């Protein structure tokens, strides 16, 4: 592209930056939630058989920890305008929403909050993700 012909960043670029920072925060929160489930079984008042999917908290802790680390890394990648990171971010946000829906019995308000933010992240990355890539060229 010739100098001066590059597209100007739109106001929607902020949505993608918001989504990437939310992914980093969500990843951190998911990892902490996973560590709590791994190391403090008594933290959650609901027994494992009261969850949507009847597995022990160690399994849930591992799932949340892995999702958290992957979300954190993907969020950092989205800030660079990387298409692969954006695609992975949409998939991980969807998996995070599903995992929190299955975990809703243990921590209902928190799970609903995370699901809501996951939906916002998916929206921002799918509808406005291209603007960030175009503005970083």
Res 40: pLDDT: 86
| pLDDT above 90 for 98 | yes
Establish if 11 belongs to a structural domain: no
Res 105: pLDDT: 80
Tell me the mean pLDDT in the region 49-78.
87
pLDDT band, very low/low/confident/very high, at 12 (cuts 50, 70, 90): low
Res 27: pLDDT: 95
Whole domain around residue 110: which residue ranges?
22-135
| pLDDT above 80 for 133 | no
Please state the domain count of the chain: 1
Single pTM value for the model? 0.81
| pLDDT above 60 for 22 | yes
Establish if 97 belongs to a structural domain: yes
Establish if 125 belongs to a structural domain: yes
List, in order, residues 6 or more apart from 135 with CB less than 8 Å away: 7, 8, 9, 10, 13, 81
Establish if 98 belongs to a structural domain: yes
Mean of the per-residue pLDDT values for the chain?
A: 84
Tell me the mean pLDDT in the region 23-50.
85
Res 13: pLDDT: 74
Res 106: pLDDT: 80
Establish if 2 belongs to a structural domain: no
Establish if 117 belongs to a structural domain: yes
- C-alpha distance from residue 135 to each of 4, 81, 103, 130, 132 (Å): 13, 8, 38, 9, 5
Report CA dihedral (28, 82, 135, 121) to the nearest 10 degrees. -40
**Looking up tokens 């958290």, which residue turns up?**
68
66, with CB counted inside 10 A (0-12, 13-18, 19+), is middle
Q: Is the dihedral of CA 65, 51, 57, 33 positive or negative?
A: positive
**Looking up tokens 């990387």, which residue turns up?**
82
Q: DSSP 3-state assignment of 10?
A: coil
Among 11-15, 69-73, 77-81, which stretch is predicted with the lowest mean pLDDT?
A: 11-15
């Amino acid at each position: 592209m010739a100098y001066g012909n590059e597209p100007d960043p739109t106001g929607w670029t902020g949505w993608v930056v918001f989504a990437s920072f939310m992914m980093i925060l969500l990843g951190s929160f998911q990892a902490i939630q996973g560590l709590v489930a791994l190391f403090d079984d008594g933290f959650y008042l609901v027994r494992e058989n009261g969850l949507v999917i009847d597995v022990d908290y160690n399994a849930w802790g591992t799932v949340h920890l892995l999702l958290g680390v992957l979300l954190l890394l993907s969020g950092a990648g989205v800030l660079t305008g990387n298409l692969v990171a954006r695609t992975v971010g949409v998939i991980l946000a969807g998996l995070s929403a599903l995992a929190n829906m299955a975990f809703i019995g243990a921590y209902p308000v928190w799970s609903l909050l995370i699901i809501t933010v996951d939906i916002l992240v998916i929206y921002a990355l799918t509808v406005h993700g291209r603007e960030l890539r175009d503005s970083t060229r």
